[in-house]
Amino acid sequence: MTSKELFYIEDALGHEQYFKTQFSETVSRIQDSELRSFAQDIQRQHQEIFRNFYNLL
């Protein structure tokens, strides 16, 4: 893996970490159960994307 490719993966990990954190905070504040469930699904998707990028390392 080149240093440029590694930089891109590290950058993507940072973005996904940010999204995971934001959705985690948002989910904890949502009152509506249907909307909370939707946000949790998105949070899980970002967790999976993070895991996939991390596994590239």
**In angstroms, rounded to a whole number, what is the distance separating the alpha carbons of residues 49 and 42?**
11
Q: How far is CA 5 from the centre of its chain?
A: 19
Mean pLDDT of 11-30: 92
Enclosing domain of residue 7: 3-56
**Does 57 have pLDDT greater than 90?**
no
Statement: the pTM of the whole predicted model exceeds 0.75: yes
Residues 20/24/25/26 CA torsion (nearest 10 deg):
100
Portion of the chain with pLDDT greater than 90, in percent: 79
Confidence of residue 53 (pLDDT cuts 50, 70, 90): confident
**Integer CA distances (angstroms), 43 to 5, 18, 23, in order:** 25, 11, 6
In the chain, the number of structural domains is: 1
Confidence of residue 22 (pLDDT cuts 50, 70, 90): very high
